[in-house]
Amino acid sequence: MKILASQSCGTKTVGNAAPGGFQDNLDTTATGIGYLASSYTFDCCGVIDKWQVVIGALGTIKFQIWRPNGANYELVGENTYTFSTAYALFLNGEPNLKYDTQNQYTLTITCTDNLGMSSTRDIVVSITENASPSMDNLPNTVDVDTLTTTTGTQIFSINGVDTDSTILFYNMTCFPANCPFQVNTAGQILATENLNTHKIAAYDLNVWINDKWSLVGPETLSVTLTNINDIPVISNIPAGLSLTIPENSAVTKIILDTAVTDGNPGDTHTFTAVFTPGDGSNYFRIISGTGVIRPSQVIDYEELLAKGTTSFNVAVTANDGREDSVTKYFTLAVTDVNEPQTGFSQTTYQITGVETTTTFPDLNPTLANSVIDVDDTRDTQTLTMDCGTTTVLFAMDPTTGRVTKTDEYDLDATQQTTDTVACVVTATDAAGHTVTTNLNIIINEENDNPPVLNQDTYTHFLPINTGAGSQFGPFSSTDADVLTDHTDTTYTLTGGSGLFGFTDCCSVYNNVNFSTTAHNVGDSFSMTLTATNKNGLKDTATVNVILTDPVTTTAATVVTTTTTAATASSLAFPTFGDSGSISNFLDDPENLGWFIPTMILLAIMTALLAYMIYRCIRNPGAFARLGNLCKGRSLNCNWQTRSKMANNKANKVTF
């Protein structure tokens, strides 16, 4: 409601203009308020401005005018008005009055009291034509710096002008749509977001002003964004990039030097990297100021292998201080390096075999599996051995280290029961690294030689009248083995139709006196003599017995034969004599070959000696004359000699 008050001053009235700042000092509680009016003069009956107030409550209000008077103020006019009734004239809603259609209305007002008395008056309401608002600083242009413009920053203030209204409204559209600006009720155009990363370079803002009765516009504000940021681009990480780094690489090794292109040449870039799995950050790092990726420690491939991953996904991002680049991805794998072996699990190994062993038993674990190598099963070992001068007798499987012998290692020739061959084994891995260990090969003597009979054929001439139990032999054999247990030999005799037996001391004897049998002189008997050692190795020879003329006993030769009852032998025939008896000596043909001539020569010498003694006794000077006869002359004596050669052939013996 508008209240119009006037001050009487002679014939003068209060004017229509409101003093500046009037409404800011208005108290709407309807209490008395004084208003400073230092700019008004009262030379009486001059025109004083009129003012109006809006009252929001019932009560009394004083309208006063003051003027300066020295250091004080002087009240020069006052009106008092009491609002005690709620009757008033109001506009009905928003009638949308139009000056051009109807600019005046006459209202008839009737007031009736409680006694029924009434009073009627006409009130003329004049419509004042509205003055349209305007924006006197549009159209216009403005540059907006994206580096400094943040949310709420004012980029422009519209100067809205309206001669009959102080309440103005603004609205705005923009092209392109969804611009980062808005206009408030005060006509200020503000940024609705931080323009640091905004990319659209220009907008046209179309602004309308409205005083509630008139809408004016649009007027255009052209906005140009400056210092628009170019997003940095990582240029050397293409899709699918895969990089490797060998284990044990130095921490200074450059894995990747991230390269960036940027349309803003003055930008400074920082870099970040994310590793998946996350513990990749324990092994790698990115230098934030340069984008260089390096190992953060000396990496052990075997450690990563034990954790179950040797490859990492890397996500790299560059930032220019305003925006992040598009993240680029690559794969980084740690590769295994063939590291030197550290040795074998033992300093010395031993395998054992015999002279004829061809393949020695494998060690457990094998030599190949005994190599200590951090590369473990990913590496391969090639094994060789050096046994000095005996290396040619041995071979080693290069994969497993199994040892084989290419030829017999003969201990019998050197009469050794055992020998140790010292070898050096070398393991070479795929990279050529080597380690060595010692391998002792123990060779033990074995029963590998058969007994060898001293003849292939034995022949014995047996007088047909030789008594039962007469032994001939013994037979012997040799064995090249060294150990006594390996040379222990047993003999067996087969054939002879039970007419002959064999003693434990290796002699053959006749079970019968053949003169009492149907056999005749000249009959022969063929038997097989077998010599066998404990390993079952054997040798055989043929034994032939031929019946000869009977032996006649003469007075000059007395042969005494002691016969004992034969005992059961392995062939169930009696045993005759032993190895030290005279009968065994005379049954050996080799003994007879030298014994008979010796006895004949001994008999002749004995007879000659006896004769010389006899002559010496009968004729003492005979020997002196014999000496003078032969002295100084060639001895031309015709001595008769007798000799008997023994027939001893390599494969045939007659006894």
**How far is Cα 308 from Cα 305, in angstroms, rounded to an integer?**
5
pLDDT value at position 563?
35
pLDDT at position 2 is 34
pLDDT at residue 90, rounded to an integer: 77
Predicted confidence (pLDDT) per residue in 131-146, tens digit:
889 999 999 999 999 9
* 596 — pLDDT class (breaks 50, 70, 90): confident
Q: Exposure string (b/e) for 148-162, b if CB count within 10 Å is 16 or more?
A: ebeeebebbebebeb
Q: What is the mean pLDDT of residues 452-464?
A: 92
Helix (H, G, I), strand (E, B) or coil at 181: strand
Kindly report, residue by residue over 54-111, the tens digit of the pLDDT.
Answer: 455 667 766 666 666 666 666 666 777 676 666 677 777 767 788 888 889 999 988 8
Whether 319 has a pLDDT exceeding 60, the answer reads yes
Instruction: Provide the pLDDT for residue 64.
Output: 64
- Asked if 462 contacts 546 with a C-beta cutoff of 8 angstroms, the reply is yes
- Are 136 and 187 a contacting pair, CB within 8 Å? no
- C-alpha torsion angle, residues 164, 169, 173, 179 (rounded to 10): 130
- Tell me: pLDDT of 234 over 90: yes
HEC string for 13-30: CECCCCCCCCHHHCCCCC
260-261 vs 343-344, strand pairing mode:
unpaired
For residue 222, the model assigns a pLDDT of 97
Radius of gyration in angstroms for the set of CA atoms belonging to the chain, rounded to a whole number: 73
Model confidence at 27: pLDDT above 90? no
629 pLDDT more than 90: no
Task: Delineate the domains of the chain, giving CATH numbers in brackets.
Answer: 134-226 (2.60.40.60), 234-335 (2.60.40.60), 343-444 (2.60.40.60), 452-548 (2.60.40.60)
In this predicted structure, the answer to whether residue 636 has a pLDDT above a threshold of 60 is: no
Smallest CA-to-CA distance from 34 within 82, 69, 76, 4 is with 76
Question: What mean pLDDT is predicted for residues 278-295?
Answer: 97
Is the pTM for the entire model greater than 0.85? no
For residues 570 and 163, the model is more confident at: 163
Give 18's pLDDT tier (boundaries 50, 70, 90). Answer: very low
Mean pLDDT of 326-342: 95
Q: What is the mean pLDDT of the chain?
A: 81
Residue 652: CB atoms within 10 A of its CB come to 14
Report the pLDDT averaged over residues 268-296: 97
